Amino acid sequence: MLIKTLPVGDLETNCYVVTNENTLESVVIDPGDESNTILDYLESNHLTCKAIFLTHGHYDHVGAVEAVQEETGATVYMNAKDDAKNMHSFHFPFTLPENGLTYDDGDVVTVAGIDFSILSTPGHTPGSVVICAEDALFTGDTLFRGSCGRTDLDGGSMEEMLLSLKKICSLEGDYEVYPGHMDSSSLIRERSFNYYCRAAMQR
């Protein structure tokens, strides 16, 4: 499994392209902006995008969804709680297309020969999810290196955030952490040094 990080947009949202190196089939996670950057990477590496996964519905994570989906025909997945039909806010501009699919806690979606496990992690938004593939956690704006996502926007909750961080930190073993912004980390590091994770684990 190959993971490519593409920081896109004014907020440098991390868009991830997860590829099965044997089949060259890929999943794009959080195409927030700069559809040309994402599509150029897919084309130049001869990759076939099979699905688009969203960690949550904020505008900086969904801005290029429609363009990438239109060009590739990929199926779009998100948690229904962050669909614009259910969250009437500037921060939630994306409505899941009619052929899109929803996922929720405990679901396993197999795409491109890779199993993606879904963890519901509200706190930043009601429909935030963490996506687990092999030893990688794509944490969106729930867990950052040394911090966590803000909870003061529509649908945010610090109480739910701490419960979600406890849930993530309770996973067995170690994982690479690929957040929605800034640098990657490891779950062992965040359990040890992240103030919010340490506070969550003491609850």
To 10 degrees, what angle do helices 35-44 and 65-72 make?
A: 30
pLDDT at 87 (0 to 100):
83
pLDDT(167) > 90: yes
Rounded CA-CA distance 141/97 in Å is 23
Whole-number pLDDT of residue 90:
79
C-alpha span between 111 and 49 (Å, rounded): 10
Domain boundaries, the chain: 2-201
pLDDT of residue 45: 97
- Averaged pLDDT, 111-134: 98
Q: Which own/partner contact pairs does 95-104 have at CB distance under 8 Å and 24+ positions apart? A: 97/69, 99/75, 100/75, 100/76, 101/75, 101/76, 101/77, 102/77, 102/78, 103/77, 103/78, 103/79, 103/129, 104/79, 104/80, 104/129
Confidence (pLDDT) at 123: 97
pLDDT digits (tens, 9 = 90+) for 74-89: 999 999 999 998 888 8
- What is the predicted pLDDT for the residue at 88? 80
**Does the pLDDT value for residue 91 go beyond 90?**
no
**Residue 70 gets which letter from DSSP?**
H
- Which CATH number does 2-201 carry? 3.60.15.10
